[in-house]
Structures are given as C-alpha cells and as structure tokens.
Amino acid sequence: MPVEIERKFLVKSDAWRKTAGIGRRFCQGHISKGSLSSVRVRRAADKAYLTVKGARIGIARAEFEYEIPVEHAEEMLQSLCAKPLLEKTRYCVIYDDVTWEIDVFAGPAEGLVVAEVELSSVDQEVSMPEWIGVEVTNDPRYRSSSINLAPRDVTSKQT
C-alpha cells in the first residue's frame, strides 16, 4: 500500500527563496473528508490528480494518487468540491540532500507559508533549515482540507 510520511512546519522567513526553483500554481478542493479518509482533486498547471488519503497514524497515512484528465478535474473542482477552493504556489528547495516543498497560499489563506518534507521512514531525521519555524504536523488546522475553513486562525499564527 502506498504510504505518505510527511512533516509540516510554518515558515518564519523568506530566506528559502534564495535557493527555490520556479513555483507551480495549484488549485485543489476536497470532494469528501472524514475521520477515516479524504478525497482531493488537484490541478497543477497542465496536469490534474485525484488523491485518496487514509487516516493519519502519527506522521504516516495511506495515499493513493491518480492522474486524471484536466477537464475532469476542472468539472470536479467546480461542481463537487467544497468552496472556497485552496490556491497556492509550491516551491521546491533542496536542503541537506532533502527536498522541502514550500507552499505559499493565496485567496482566503493569503499570508500563510508552510513547508513540508516527505520522509522515507517515520524515524528519518532531517536537518532543519534556518527558515523553518514551529512544527504543525499534528495540528488539524494546517491540513489542506481545513486551511480555507478558518484562514484567519492559521495566518495569524504564522511565526
């Protein structure tokens, strides 16, 4: 079974921008979310994906992702997903041989910047860049399915 193992952190400075690649715009929405699973649709430039994620067990969870036609994703985003849709630009930064994904949010969550690092095991250690702030991995407010629900709550906590 495919498993996602990730940690999330608030970003406390723009120092990451010095080594960031070109950002990719994302628009995503959730068709369903519950305690056992969530179903997400994501548009990323000329690609689109349907992702099913299981319940978290620590920092890991089952993740199944499938590429779908962009036209299907657009229809699902408009007609099946809860609003507002989540908009962000994702940048990648390599730090100490690990890829960090930095999400700069737009729309209702504008001002929020979150860094994620995907790990190969739950006990993998990573060096923290100087621009990493507070860890929010276990804070449900920072899940993509929740960020737009109370954007002032998450953006006011940015440190």
- pLDDT one-digit tens code per residue, 120-144: 999 999 999 999 999 999 998 898 8
For the whole model, what pTM was predicted? 0.90
The total of structural domains in the chain comes to 1
Beta pairing, strands 132-135 & 113-118? unpaired
Tens-place pLDDT, residues 4-40: 999 999 999 999 999 998 999 999 999 998 889 999 9
Q: What is the CATH number of the domain that holds 69?
A: 2.40.320.10
* Domain with 122 in it: 3-155
